[in-house]
Amino acid sequence: MTPLDYARRYWKLQVPMGTGPDATVQTVKIHQYRLVNMTGGASPSLTAKDRLLGEAKKALLKDKTVEVQVVLSRDPGQRQSFIFTQWSDLAVILLRPFIGKGSPEEVQVALQLAVRYGLTSEANLQQYADDSRIGLDCNGFVGNYLRQRNDGSLKWYGMSSDTTSSSSRIRDLLQKEGRQVKKVDELTPEGIYMMGLVDGSGEVVNTSVPAGHVTITEPFTLGSSYLPGVAAAAAAVPPVVGPARAGIGVASYLLNHVARAVPGSAPTLQVVESTGAKNNGLVSSTYGLQPPTAKGVFTVQRGLGMGQMKVKIFRLT
């Protein structure tokens, strides 16, 4: 599954409305950017979250179990049921969607139980998700993607303390899951890359205040872009198959050979991210890359009018 495939699981989230084999499914779009400061590990007081956890806890104390059913991200053709018997296990699953950290399965559980406990209706489920600000922060999306990528099983609940997750700090996530790319020659079409925002000293920002940022790229999207008015010059540039025959990197070819022939051109990558910039939320857009510094800091031109950003790039290993 690619990052864009995973984003589509949120954009068209399938939420079972029951636990039986014939349970109907509602489709909800999860797209909002959601950043909640969890300094000190304290659970913030959020009205929708507090009401849902209150109802779920009462149900678990009364019935001793809470059964849920989810559509699996890894295989949307499969549904999986799970019975919670411990409040601590259910509470963390229900918390995460409200603080920007929920996986598609965890968001399904929250929405399914919100309907079950009368906090919303099937018809108003999209409105409930939007009003409750269920969404993702940047490492909420990237961390959840990496977690499912690394886990070959269909298990969606529970994790060991050393598992990469949506709660992993950005610098830790980059260094654990990737290898830094310091030259454009190291970019290849099939690679998946993470980009981490850096500060003025060139270090990856690893805090929520001020906020860091992390994105992830879609494989096989390495290309080039041209500014308006240079289509004729671009047409005269040799095709990108050239570098493979010449034994040089595709990105280096795009940055040097093409850029010199066509002023205003740059290597590009399709990026998937959850961002507060321009209130975009969970989106995919095309980034243009400028040459890196000696420390491997790239300046990128973000898509959707989000301006420039200085990043370090790490290839997934």
Distances (CA, A) of 165 to 38, 98, 109, 159, 168: 15, 16, 18, 8, 5
Q: What is the CA radius of gyration of the chain?
A: 22
Can you read off the two tokens belonging to residue 183? 């030259």
Distances (CA, A) of 186 to 180, 183, 194, 221: 9, 6, 14, 15
- Lowest average pLDDT, out of 63-67, 111-115, 235-239, 247-251, goes to 235-239
| CA end-to-end distance (rounded Å), the chain | 15
Can you read off the two tokens belonging to residue 213? 């940022």
What residues contact 156, with CB distance under 8 A and at least 6 apart? 70, 72, 73, 80, 103, 105, 106, 148
- Lowest average pLDDT, out of 19-23, 171-175, 243-247, goes to 243-247
The amino acid at 278: K
Q: How far apart are CA 103 and CA 9, in angstroms?
A: 9
Q: 160 pLDDT exceeds 80?
A: no
- Give pLDDT, residue 262: 52
Can you read off the two tokens belonging to residue 206? 């690893």
What residues contact 57, with CB distance under 8 A and at least 6 apart? 87, 91
Pairing between strand 135-136 and 79-84? unpaired
Q: 191 pLDDT exceeds 70?
A: yes
- Give pLDDT, residue 220: 94
Q: 244 pLDDT exceeds 50?
A: no
Helix (H) or strand (E) holding 95: helix 87-95
Q: 154 pLDDT exceeds 80?
A: no
pTM score of the predicted model: 0.86
pLDDT single digits (tens) 288-299: 999 899 999 999
Can you read off the two tokens belonging to residue 90? 């259910």
- Give pLDDT, residue 167: 83
Q: How many CB atoms lie within 10 A of CB 305?
A: 9
Helix (H) or strand (E) holding 84: strand 79-84
DSSP letter (8 states) at residue 19: S
Average pLDDT estimate for 253-282: 75
- Give pLDDT, residue 225: 64
Q: 276 pLDDT exceeds 70?
A: yes
Confidence of residue 243 (pLDDT cuts 50, 70, 90): very low
Q: How far apart are CA 246 and CA 185, in angstroms?
A: 13
Q: What is the percent of the chain where pLDDT is above 90?
A: 70
- Lowest average pLDDT, out of 76-80, 135-139, 226-230, goes to 226-230
Task: State the number of CA atoms in the 13 A half-sphere of 17 facing the CB.
Answer: 15
Can you read off the two tokens belonging to residue 187? 């970019």
pLDDT single digits (tens) 36-94: 876 554 455 689 999 999 999 999 999 999 999 999 999 999 999 999 999 999 999 99
- Give pLDDT, residue 246: 44
Helices (H) then strands (E): counts for the chain = 11, 14
